[in-house]
Amino acid sequence: MELLFAHPSFAAIQLLNALALAMNLFITAVGLTLVFGVLRVINFAHGAFYMLGAYIAFSLLGYLGGEHWGHFVLAVVGAMLALVIIALLIERYLLRRLYREDHLIQLLFSFALVLIFTDLVRAIWGGEQYTMPYPVGLSGSISLGGFIYPQYLLFLIVAGVSIAVSLGLFLNHTRMGKFLIAAQWDRDMLEVLGVDVGKVYAGVFALGAALAALGGALAAPRMAIEPGMSALVIIDCFIIVILGGFGSLWGSFFGALIIGLSKVFGTFLLQQWEIVLVYGLLVAVMVVRPWGLFGTPDQGRD
């Protein structure tokens, strides 16, 4: 802790580390909050989509044969497209039958998907860990005044903020975005207006899966790719969504910031008790504002 406050450059590095972690978590968690906000489905399989995104991007990059920036982009986009296809098939032939069912049924269904995809990953890639190289152009470090910092982590920060702004513009300034917002509150009225709500739901579920895959693919260069990564990220995502408020874009953004800062600085302040800080914040928010920091007291819909 003394090192943290005695050296401003060290504190700045840890702040950037927290922001990079937060933005990577936000990219993943925002897909979860959009799916719940519109479909009212607690998608426990979101972590499995994140895991598949990392594995598919890793395999595509190996197939393309290089660390070139263009190859990295193709691998990430390919992973997102693969998860969009998987999500559309799941939504069309399985999930669509459960929209009117109890949340417990939906949760059990999504948990079954986790087991299926985890076994599928083990069957295809095995149980060992893999590492994905940084793309050329982002593999080095950059000087930021009195210290140097990895370029890739700065890229994650910029990517997270850019996606947050893009989603905000999409939801508030496009026709489809307004349909998504309207679908959160009154599906029947939207149908009366002639909107194909089934396509809206399918699009949201696919978008959520694509964001999860993007989060996994972007996380792959900075962490080990292994079957257990889905369980780790889904816990953080649910904490972020609960803190920010289900269905709230900016709630997820600031919830991710809270978790990123808590994890990084909590490690220095509380060491092995860092996890207590995260769960303590969660409990405090649930007691004071059970609907989340940016949510509304009544999240129901007709």
What are the tens digits of pLDDT across the range 70-81? 899 999 999 999
8 Å CB contact between 266 and 5? no
Binned at pLDDT 50, 70 and 90, residue 302 comes out as: very low
Q: What is the pLDDT of residues 275-292, one digit of tens each?
A: 788 888 899 998 999 889
Q: Return the pLDDT at 71.
A: 92
* pTM for this entry: 0.93
pLDDT value at 215 more than 60: yes
Q: In whole angstroms, give the CA distance from residue 15 to residue 122.
A: 36
CA angle 25, 26, 31 (to 5 degrees): 105
Structure tokens at 289: 């504002």
The torsion region of residue 145 among left (phi > 0), alpha (psi -120 to 50) and beta comes to: left
Q: What is the pLDDT of residues 24-46, one digit of tens each?
A: 999 999 999 999 988 888 899 99
Angle at which helices 8-39 and 197-219 cross, to 10°: 160
Q: Return the pLDDT at 2.
A: 52
Q: Average pLDDT of the chain?
A: 90
Domains of the chain in start order, with CATH, are: 2-288 (1.10.3470)
8 Å CB contact between 221 and 132? yes
Q: In whole angstroms, give the CA distance from residue 13 to residue 289.
A: 32
Residue of 147 and 17 predicted with greater confidence:
17
In DSSP terms, 150 is beta-bridged to 141
Structure tokens at 59: 């395999």
Mean pLDDT across 225-245: 93
Q: In whole angstroms, give the CA distance from residue 247 to residue 30.
A: 9
**Backbone dihedral angles phi then psi of residue 185, each to the nearest 5 degrees:** -110, -35
User: What is the chain's length?
Assistant: 302
pLDDT value at 301 more than 70: no
Residue 135: CA count within 13 A, CB half-sphere: 23
The torsion region of residue 298 among left (phi > 0), alpha (psi -120 to 50) and beta comes to: beta
- The position carrying tokens 């928010």 is 285
Beta strands in the chain (DSSP E): 141-143, 148-150
Beta carbons within 8 Å of 47's beta carbon, 6+ residues apart: 114, 212, 229, 230, 231, 232, 233, 234, 237
